[in-house]
Amino acid sequence: MNALTGKERSLFGLPMPLIWGYIATLIFMVGDGLEHGWLSPYLVEQGLTIQQSATLFTAYGAVLAVASYFSGVLTEAWGPRKAMILGLVIWLVGQVLFIKFGLEQHNYAVMLPTYAIRGFGYPLFCYSFLVWVTYRSPQKVLATAIGVFWAAWIAGLYVVGSYFPAYMIPKIGYIGLLWSAVAWVVVGGLIGILVVKGEVGERSTKPKETFKSLISGLTICVENPKVAIGGIVRTINTTGIGALPIFFPLYLNSQYGFTTEEWLQMWGTMWVANIVFDIVIPWISDKWLGWRKTVMWIGSFGCGVMTLVMLYTPQIFGHNFLMLTIAGMLMGAALTGYVPISALVTSLAPDKKGSAMAVVNFGAGLSYFIAPALVGAFIASIGVHGVMWVFAILYFISAILMHFMKLPAEEKREQAGGLAGNLAGSAKG
């Protein structure tokens, strides 16, 4: 089952089941993201070191990376609904154990595995839905459909997930806020499970075929190296931005006096800008600029520049909330340039979209392992400045890698243009 029929289309060529799935993603990610902007500073205040906090997020990221990979292949092997149910259940179990026996008991040994377990949750739920989106969206609006998914994902994780804590922490406290996350995830999870129906291709229940599905994300990287490059680019995409909450608010507070509330407000506003451009940039990419050039220039090069702007803005302007917020908004806009990477990679493997998405999703999850690992490894030796430069350089490397991500049609056009040029040169000679 691929693109939907005309009778099912509703908004921007997208069917209502997808629209409800986007809403479910938003609500689910609110619950998943309520601690994202403040957990690291909170743990440091409770007596942990930055390195211990980074290790916690590294363990979470490692599990998240594995779950992100399996979200693609399990969606093809089991169907999206079963994968989403599994993600919902695991998230709830991990959250309850993390709060009750980890945070409330101030037990780091329990925090580490339980927070990591929770990392299985949202990739299996949200990324399985994203695979469904890639199969069921018309090709001509594929980047737009993926952009709407990321807009919903970001609206939940970073926007509501930032503003809601900023408002509610003084009222119900940090632990109360984490318990409220359970309600958000249950509501979003039930909506998603109810609206996502059908499969994403031919499936087999035979163990041998299921095993083939599980390793298909590995074999496709050998068969089609461009898919592997796309996975690397997707990893870089959220490595830099995913690391910021671990150390940057502490840096802003200690050096320039920014409070946690100011950080959360700036962080949320940055993602509001991202949501706006999550719709605009993919549409421009679909219509004019092209997927590869959008990722190369707006996403990769743009994020490299804006990472440095984020670093040097407080040094130039001091404790200036407005200027830092403007820098954050520009960073949020630049990040949307990466949205077409999913459309590009799946188009490189049209008959194995689930396997291709497994690679892309694995890259997305892997970034949440690499980001805190880099912070933990280098923050003590090269400091905030050095770490920010490392992330900026990674973004610039991403731009270079995109040079090799040409679709077959683009390569044919370039070859035809080169041939025509050679013929014209020969004629003149």
Query: CA-CA distance, 217 to 227, in Å (whole number)?
Result: 9
Residue 5 scores a pLDDT above 50? no
**74-95: pLDDT as tens digits:** 887 788 889 899 999 999 999 9
What is the residue extent of each domain of the chain? 17-408
Closest CA to 327 of 341, 316, 337: 316
Determine contact, residues 88/121, Cβ cutoff 8 Å.
yes
- One DSSP character per residue, 242-259 reads HHHHHHHHHHHHHHH---
Q: What is the pTM of this model?
A: 0.74
Find the farthest-apart pair of alpha carbons in the chain and give their distance in angstroms, rounded: 83
Confidence of residue 151 (pLDDT cuts 50, 70, 90): confident
DSSP string, 230-245: HHHHHHHHHHHHHHHH
156-175 pLDDT per residue, tens: 988 888 889 888 988 999 99
Percentage of residues of the chain with pLDDT beyond 70: 87
Q: What is the pLDDT of residue 334?
A: 95
Torsion-angle region of 79 (φ positive above 0: left; ψ -120 to 50: alpha; else: beta) = left
Cα 199 to Cα 110: distance, rounded to the nearest angstrom: 38
* pLDDT averaged over every residue in the chain: 84
**Euclidean distance between the first and the last CA atom of the chain, given in angstroms as a whole number:** 54
Q: What is the assigned CATH class of domain 17-408? A: mainly alpha
pLDDT at 199: 58
Helix (H, G, I), strand (E, B) or coil at 226: helix
Task: Compute the distance between CA of residue 2 and CA of residue 137 in angstroms, rounded to an integer.
Answer: 7
- The confidence score (pLDDT) of residue 300 equals 96
- Taken in order 177, 362, 21, 148, the sign of the CA dihedral is positive
Q: What's the confidence (pLDDT) of residue 203?
A: 47
In this prediction, residue 86 carries a pLDDT of 94
Question: Confidence band (pLDDT; 50, 70, 90) for 246?
Answer: confident
| pLDDT digit string, tens, across residues 306-356 | 999 999 999 999 999 999 999 999 999 999 999 888 888 888 887 777 778
User: Would the pLDDT of 422 be above 60?
Assistant: no
The DSSP string of 181-197 is HHHHHHHHHHHHHHH--
Find the mean pLDDT for residues 106-135: 89
CB 387 within 8 A of CB 86: no
Under 8 Å between Cβ of 132 and 83: no
